[in-house]
Copies of this chain bind each other. A is one copy, B any other.
Protein backbone atom coordinates (compact mmCIF):
# COMPACT_ATOMS: atom_id res chain seq x y z
CA UNK A 1 0.00 0.00 0.00
CA UNK A 2 0.98 3.59 -0.74
CA UNK A 3 1.48 6.10 2.08
CA UNK A 4 1.63 9.92 1.84
CA UNK A 5 2.91 12.32 4.48
CA UNK A 6 1.77 15.93 3.95
CA UNK A 7 4.28 18.09 5.78
CA UNK A 8 6.73 15.24 5.22
CA UNK A 9 9.72 17.57 5.23
CA UNK A 10 9.06 18.85 8.74
CA UNK A 11 10.35 17.70 12.09
CA UNK A 12 7.61 15.20 12.93
CA UNK A 13 7.15 14.19 9.28
CA UNK A 14 10.82 13.17 8.98
CA UNK A 15 10.72 11.18 12.20
CA UNK A 16 7.51 9.42 11.18
CA UNK A 17 8.92 8.63 7.71
CA UNK A 18 12.02 7.13 9.33
CA UNK A 19 9.76 5.05 11.57
CA UNK A 20 7.80 3.77 8.55
CA UNK A 21 11.09 2.97 6.75
CA UNK A 22 12.30 1.00 9.79
CA UNK A 23 9.02 -0.86 10.23
CA UNK A 24 8.37 -1.47 6.51
CA UNK A 25 4.69 -1.94 7.33
CA UNK A 26 1.73 -0.29 9.08
CA UNK A 27 -0.79 -2.38 11.02
CA UNK A 28 0.80 -5.53 9.55
CA UNK A 29 0.39 -4.39 5.91
CA UNK A 30 3.59 -3.83 3.89
CA UNK A 31 4.31 -0.32 2.61
CA UNK A 32 4.95 -0.37 -1.17
CA UNK A 33 5.72 3.32 -1.58
CA UNK A 34 5.95 6.57 0.37
CA UNK A 35 5.36 10.14 -0.83
CA UNK A 36 6.84 12.94 1.23
CA UNK A 37 5.12 16.23 0.36
CA UNK A 38 5.96 19.69 1.68
CA UNK A 39 6.17 23.33 0.68
CA UNK A 40 9.91 22.82 0.07
CA UNK A 41 11.03 19.52 -1.42
CA UNK A 42 11.81 17.05 1.39
CA UNK A 43 15.30 15.50 1.47
CA UNK A 44 15.64 11.91 0.19
CA UNK A 45 15.09 9.05 2.64
CA UNK A 46 16.64 5.57 2.75
CA UNK A 47 13.82 3.02 2.86
CA UNK A 48 13.03 -0.55 1.78
CA UNK A 49 10.38 0.88 -0.59
CA UNK A 50 10.40 3.71 -3.20
CA UNK A 51 10.18 7.22 -1.74
CA UNK A 52 8.96 10.21 -3.79
CA UNK A 53 9.79 13.70 -2.53
CA UNK A 54 7.40 16.38 -3.85
CA UNK A 55 7.14 20.14 -3.31
CA UNK A 56 3.93 22.11 -3.69
CA UNK A 57 1.05 24.12 -2.27
CA UNK A 58 -1.16 22.04 0.05
CA UNK A 59 -4.16 24.26 -0.76
CA UNK A 60 -4.10 23.27 -4.46
CA UNK A 61 -6.32 20.26 -5.17
CA UNK A 62 -4.56 19.23 -8.41
CA UNK A 63 -1.19 19.27 -6.63
CA UNK A 64 -2.59 17.22 -3.76
CA UNK A 65 -4.06 14.67 -6.15
CA UNK A 66 -0.56 14.11 -7.53
CA UNK A 67 0.74 13.70 -3.98
CA UNK A 68 -2.03 11.22 -3.11
CA UNK A 69 -1.98 8.79 -6.08
CA UNK A 70 -4.38 5.87 -6.66
CA UNK A 71 -3.40 3.05 -4.33
CA UNK A 72 -2.91 5.41 -1.40
CA UNK A 73 -4.29 3.76 1.74
CA UNK A 74 -2.87 6.11 4.37
CA UNK A 75 -2.39 9.90 4.42
CA UNK A 76 -0.69 11.61 7.37
CA UNK A 77 -1.72 15.28 7.35
CA UNK A 78 0.90 17.30 9.26
CA UNK A 79 0.99 20.31 6.90
CA UNK A 80 0.09 23.44 8.87
CA UNK A 81 0.80 27.08 9.54
CA UNK A 82 1.70 27.03 13.23
CA UNK A 83 0.28 29.10 16.04
CA UNK A 84 2.18 32.40 16.11
CA UNK A 85 2.37 32.46 12.29
CA UNK A 86 -1.39 31.86 11.92
CA UNK A 87 -1.97 34.66 14.44
CA UNK A 88 0.33 37.01 12.51
CA UNK A 89 -1.10 36.21 9.04
CA UNK A 90 -4.82 35.38 9.13
CA UNK A 91 -5.15 34.71 5.40
CA UNK A 92 -2.15 32.37 5.29
CA UNK A 93 -3.56 30.37 8.22
CA UNK A 94 -6.97 30.07 6.54
CA UNK A 95 -5.35 29.04 3.25
CA UNK A 96 -3.07 26.33 4.58
CA UNK A 97 -5.01 25.11 7.62
CA UNK A 98 -8.55 25.17 6.16
CA UNK A 99 -8.33 25.28 2.36
CA UNK A 100 -5.47 22.75 2.52
CA UNK A 101 -7.65 20.35 4.51
CA UNK A 102 -10.52 20.82 2.04
CA UNK A 103 -8.10 20.03 -0.81
CA UNK A 104 -7.02 16.88 1.05
CA UNK A 105 -10.67 15.80 1.31
CA UNK A 106 -11.19 16.39 -2.42
CA UNK A 107 -8.05 14.36 -3.24
CA UNK A 108 -9.29 11.50 -1.03
CA UNK A 109 -12.71 11.54 -2.73
CA UNK A 110 -10.93 10.90 -6.05
CA UNK A 111 -9.40 7.64 -4.75
CA UNK A 112 -11.12 4.30 -5.45
CA UNK A 113 -11.33 3.49 -1.71
CA UNK A 114 -11.45 5.84 1.31
CA UNK A 115 -7.95 6.10 2.84
CA UNK A 116 -7.08 6.38 6.50
CA UNK A 117 -6.24 10.01 7.27
CA UNK A 118 -4.27 10.86 10.41
CA UNK A 119 -4.73 14.56 11.21
CA UNK A 120 -2.64 16.44 13.74
CA UNK A 121 -5.01 18.67 15.65
CA UNK A 122 -3.83 20.56 18.70
CA UNK A 123 -4.21 21.35 22.36
CA UNK A 124 -4.54 24.95 21.07
CA UNK A 125 -8.08 24.13 19.88
CA UNK A 126 -9.19 24.12 23.54
CA UNK A 127 -9.35 26.87 26.14
CA UNK A 128 -9.36 26.90 29.92
CA UNK A 129 -5.78 27.89 30.59
CA UNK A 130 -3.90 27.03 33.76
CA UNK A 131 -6.97 25.81 35.68
CA UNK A 132 -8.20 23.40 33.02
CA UNK A 133 -8.47 19.62 33.17
CA UNK A 134 -10.10 19.01 29.80
CA UNK A 135 -12.31 15.89 29.66
CA UNK A 136 -12.40 13.74 26.51
CA UNK A 137 -15.79 15.21 25.63
CA UNK A 138 -14.58 18.79 26.27
CA UNK A 139 -15.80 21.59 24.00
CA UNK A 140 -13.36 23.29 21.64
CA UNK A 141 -13.64 27.05 22.22
CA UNK A 142 -10.31 28.21 20.77
CA UNK A 143 -8.48 31.32 21.94
CA UNK A 144 -6.38 31.73 18.78
CA UNK A 145 -6.74 31.41 15.00
CA UNK A 146 -4.52 28.30 14.78
CA UNK A 147 -6.70 26.49 17.31
CA UNK A 148 -9.90 27.59 15.54
CA UNK A 149 -8.52 26.34 12.22
CA UNK A 150 -7.55 22.99 13.75
CA UNK A 151 -11.03 22.57 15.29
CA UNK A 152 -12.50 23.38 11.87
CA UNK A 153 -10.21 20.79 10.25
CA UNK A 154 -11.50 18.18 12.71
CA UNK A 155 -15.12 19.02 11.84
CA UNK A 156 -14.43 18.87 8.08
CA UNK A 157 -12.62 15.53 8.33
CA UNK A 158 -15.17 13.96 10.71
CA UNK A 159 -17.98 14.86 8.32
CA UNK A 160 -15.96 13.55 5.35
CA UNK A 161 -15.51 10.32 7.33
CA UNK A 162 -19.24 10.04 7.99
CA UNK A 163 -19.83 10.51 4.25
CA UNK A 164 -17.33 7.74 3.37
CA UNK A 165 -14.75 9.96 1.64
CA UNK A 166 -11.99 8.92 4.07
CA UNK A 167 -11.46 7.50 7.58
CA UNK A 168 -9.92 10.06 9.94
CA UNK A 169 -8.21 9.88 13.31
CA UNK A 170 -7.53 13.38 14.67
CA UNK A 171 -4.79 13.50 17.31
CA UNK A 172 -4.83 16.66 19.44
CA UNK A 173 -1.08 16.75 19.92
CA UNK A 174 0.30 18.27 23.10
CA UNK A 175 3.18 20.70 22.78
CA UNK A 176 5.96 18.48 21.44
CA UNK A 177 9.24 18.81 23.32
CA UNK A 178 12.16 18.69 22.91
CA UNK A 179 12.11 19.88 19.29
CA UNK A 180 15.52 19.83 17.59
CA UNK A 181 16.89 22.64 15.45
CA UNK A 182 16.14 26.28 16.11
CA UNK A 183 13.28 28.23 17.65
CA UNK A 184 10.31 28.43 15.21
CA UNK A 185 7.10 30.47 14.80
CA UNK A 186 5.08 28.32 17.19
CA UNK A 187 4.10 30.28 20.31
CA UNK A 188 5.20 27.21 22.27
CA UNK A 189 8.73 27.32 20.85
CA UNK A 190 10.13 28.30 24.27
CA UNK A 191 8.97 24.99 25.81
CA UNK A 192 11.59 23.12 23.79
CA UNK A 193 14.15 25.91 23.98
CA UNK A 194 14.40 25.82 27.80
CA UNK A 195 15.79 22.27 27.57
CA UNK A 196 17.48 22.26 24.14
CA UNK A 197 19.45 25.48 24.35
CA UNK A 198 21.10 24.71 27.74
CA UNK A 199 22.03 21.23 26.45
CA UNK A 200 23.84 23.05 23.63
CA UNK A 201 25.54 25.24 26.24
CA UNK A 202 23.46 28.24 25.21
CA UNK A 203 21.20 30.56 27.21
CA UNK A 204 17.43 30.15 26.87
CA UNK A 205 14.50 32.45 27.57
CA UNK A 206 10.96 31.63 28.61
CA UNK A 207 8.14 34.20 28.69
CA UNK A 208 6.02 32.71 31.53
CA UNK A 209 6.55 32.09 35.27
CA UNK A 210 8.33 28.85 36.34
CA UNK A 211 5.07 27.48 37.75
CA UNK A 212 3.35 27.84 34.35
CA UNK A 213 1.97 24.44 33.42
CA UNK A 214 2.03 23.00 29.87
CA UNK A 215 0.58 19.82 28.35
CA UNK A 216 3.54 18.19 26.57
CA UNK A 217 4.81 15.01 24.94
CA UNK A 218 8.07 13.77 23.48
CA UNK A 219 8.67 13.46 19.71
CA UNK A 220 9.01 9.68 20.30
CA UNK A 221 5.49 9.50 21.75
CA UNK A 222 4.06 11.78 19.06
CA UNK A 223 5.48 9.41 16.43
CA UNK A 224 4.17 6.37 18.36
CA UNK A 225 0.68 7.91 18.42
CA UNK A 226 0.66 8.89 14.74
CA UNK A 227 1.92 5.44 13.66
CA UNK A 228 -0.68 3.76 15.88
CA UNK A 229 -3.46 5.96 14.45
CA UNK A 230 -2.33 5.04 10.91
CA UNK A 231 -2.91 1.34 11.52
CA UNK A 232 -5.57 1.10 14.23
CA UNK A 233 -9.10 -0.27 13.95
CA UNK A 234 -11.31 2.85 13.88
CA UNK A 235 -14.61 1.06 14.58
CA UNK A 236 -14.38 1.65 18.38
CA UNK A 237 -14.09 5.40 17.75
CA UNK A 238 -17.63 5.77 16.43
CA UNK A 239 -18.37 9.30 15.24
CA UNK A 240 -16.00 10.93 17.73
CA UNK A 241 -12.73 10.98 15.77
CA UNK A 242 -10.81 13.32 18.10
CA UNK A 243 -8.20 11.74 20.37
CA UNK A 244 -6.67 13.48 23.39
CA UNK A 245 -3.51 11.37 23.78
CA UNK A 246 -1.95 10.78 27.22
CA UNK A 247 0.67 13.52 27.45
CA UNK A 248 2.37 14.99 30.54
CA UNK A 249 1.16 18.06 32.45
CA UNK A 250 4.37 19.74 33.59
CA UNK A 251 5.51 23.17 34.79
CA UNK A 252 8.48 24.96 33.27
CA UNK A 253 10.16 24.52 36.68
CA UNK A 254 9.64 20.73 36.55
CA UNK A 255 11.14 20.65 33.05
CA UNK A 256 14.16 22.59 34.31
CA UNK A 257 14.46 20.20 37.28
CA UNK A 258 14.52 17.25 34.86
CA UNK A 259 17.15 19.08 32.82
CA UNK A 260 19.20 19.60 35.99
CA UNK A 261 18.84 15.93 36.99
CA UNK A 262 20.18 14.81 33.60
CA UNK A 263 22.69 17.57 32.75
CA UNK A 264 23.50 19.29 36.04
CA UNK A 265 22.54 22.56 37.75
CA UNK A 266 24.74 24.61 35.41
CA UNK A 267 22.49 23.63 32.50
CA UNK A 268 19.40 24.71 34.47
CA UNK A 269 21.00 28.04 35.28
CA UNK A 270 21.18 28.92 31.55
CA UNK A 271 17.36 29.25 31.32
CA UNK A 272 15.91 32.60 32.41
CA UNK A 273 12.50 34.19 32.36
CA UNK A 274 12.08 37.15 29.97
CA UNK A 275 8.38 38.18 29.84
CA UNK A 276 6.80 38.39 26.34
CA UNK A 277 3.20 39.62 26.50
CA UNK A 278 2.33 38.53 22.96
CA UNK A 279 3.44 34.91 23.38
CA UNK A 280 2.04 34.75 26.92
CA UNK A 281 -1.36 35.92 25.63
CA UNK A 282 -1.49 32.99 23.19
CA UNK A 283 -0.27 30.21 25.49
CA UNK A 284 -2.25 31.46 28.52
CA UNK A 285 -5.43 30.18 26.89
CA UNK A 286 -4.14 26.66 26.23
CA UNK A 287 -5.31 24.12 28.80
CA UNK A 288 -2.63 22.89 31.17
CA UNK A 289 -3.96 19.34 31.52
CA UNK A 290 -6.26 16.77 29.90
CA UNK A 291 -7.99 13.79 31.48
CA UNK A 292 -7.11 11.64 28.40
CA UNK A 293 -9.05 8.67 29.74
CA UNK A 294 -10.19 7.27 26.36
CA UNK A 295 -6.88 7.09 24.46
CA UNK A 296 -4.99 4.44 26.52
CA UNK A 297 -7.85 1.97 26.02
CA UNK A 298 -7.59 2.61 22.28
CA UNK A 299 -3.91 1.62 22.28
CA UNK A 300 -2.23 5.02 22.57
CA UNK A 301 0.79 4.49 24.84
CA UNK A 302 1.37 6.71 27.87
CA UNK A 303 4.13 9.31 28.06
CA UNK A 304 7.47 8.61 29.66
CA UNK A 305 8.90 10.66 32.57
CA UNK A 306 10.29 14.17 32.00
CA UNK A 307 13.83 12.90 32.70
CA UNK A 308 13.43 10.14 30.09
CA UNK A 309 12.08 12.78 27.72
CA UNK A 310 15.26 14.85 28.19
CA UNK A 311 17.42 11.73 27.73
CA UNK A 312 15.53 10.83 24.54
CA UNK A 313 16.38 14.22 23.04
CA UNK A 314 20.06 13.71 23.89
CA UNK A 315 20.00 10.23 22.32
CA UNK A 316 17.94 11.10 19.21
CA UNK A 317 18.50 14.73 18.29
CA UNK A 318 21.26 16.56 20.17
CA UNK A 319 24.10 15.70 17.77
CA UNK A 320 21.99 16.45 14.68
CA UNK A 321 20.96 19.79 16.20
CA UNK A 322 24.62 20.65 16.84
CA UNK A 323 25.48 19.81 13.20
CA UNK A 324 22.50 21.75 11.79
CA UNK A 325 23.51 24.81 13.74
CA UNK A 326 27.19 24.57 12.79
CA UNK A 327 28.29 23.70 16.33
CA UNK A 328 29.71 20.23 15.61
Which residues of A approach B to under 8 Å, CB–CB? 90, 94, 102, 127, 137-145, 148-149, 151-152, 155-156, 158-159, 162-163, 239-240
- Contact check, A127 vs B90: say whether CB atoms are below 8 A apart: no
Closest residue to A137 on the B side, CB-wise?
B139
Contacts of A163 in B (CB 8 A): 90, 145
Q: How far is the CA of A148 from the CA of B159 in the complex (A)?
A: 7
Q: How far is the CA of A163 from the CA of B146 in the complex (A)?
A: 12
* Distance of A328 from chain B, by nearest CB (Å): 43
Closest residue to A145 on the B side, CB-wise?
B159
- Contact check, A155 vs B162: say whether CB atoms are below 8 A apart: no
Number of copies of this kind of chain in the complex: 2
Closest residue to A238 on the B side, CB-wise?
B141
- Contact check, A127 vs B239: say whether CB atoms are below 8 A apart: yes
Closest residue to A239 on the B side, CB-wise?
B141
Q: How far is the CA of A290 from the CA of B314 in the complex (A)?
A: 52
Add 9 more A-B contacts to A144-B162, A145-B163 (CB < 8 A): A90-B163, A94-B102, A139-B139, A148-B155, A148-B159, A149-B159, A152-B152, A152-B156, A155-B155
- Contact check, A138 vs B139: say whether CB atoms are below 8 A apart: yes
- Contact check, A155 vs B142: say whether CB atoms are below 8 A apart: yes
Going nearest first, the 7 A-B pairs with the smallest beta carbon separation are A148-B159, A139-B139, A148-B155, A152-B152, A152-B155, A145-B159, A151-B155
Q: How far is the CA of A158 from the CA of B240 in the complex (A)?
A: 23
Q: How far is the CA of A90 from the CA of B159 in the complex (A)?
A: 10
Q: How far is the CA of A140 from the CA of B152 in the complex (A)?
A: 11
Partner pick for A158 among B90, B148, B159, CB 8 A cutoff: B148
Contacts of A239 in B (CB 8 A): 127, 141, 143
Highest count of chain B CB atoms <10 Å: which of A145, A152, A156, A239 = A152
* Distance of A156 from chain B, by nearest CB (Å): 7
Q: How far is the CA of A25 from the CA of B27 in the complex (A)?
A: 63
Q: How far is the CA of A140 from the CA of B242 in the complex (A)?
A: 12
Q: How far is the CA of A145 from the CA of B162 in the complex (A)?
A: 9
Contacts of A144 in B (CB 8 A): 159, 162
Closest residue to A94 on the B side, CB-wise?
B102
The 24 sampled A-B contact pairs (Cβ below 8 Å) are A94-B102, A127-B239, A137-B139, A138-B139, A139-B139, A139-B140, A141-B158, A141-B239, A141-B240, A142-B158, A142-B159, A143-B239, A144-B159, A144-B162, A145-B159, A145-B163, A148-B156, A148-B158, A148-B159, A149-B159, A151-B155, A152-B155, A152-B156, A155-B155
Q: How far is the CA of A239 from the CA of B90 in the complex (A)?
A: 18
Closest residue to A165 on the B side, CB-wise?
B90
* Distance of A158 from chain B, by nearest CB (Å): 7
Partner pick for A162 among B138, B139, B140, B143, CB 8 A cutoff: B143
Contacts of A151 in B (CB 8 A): 155
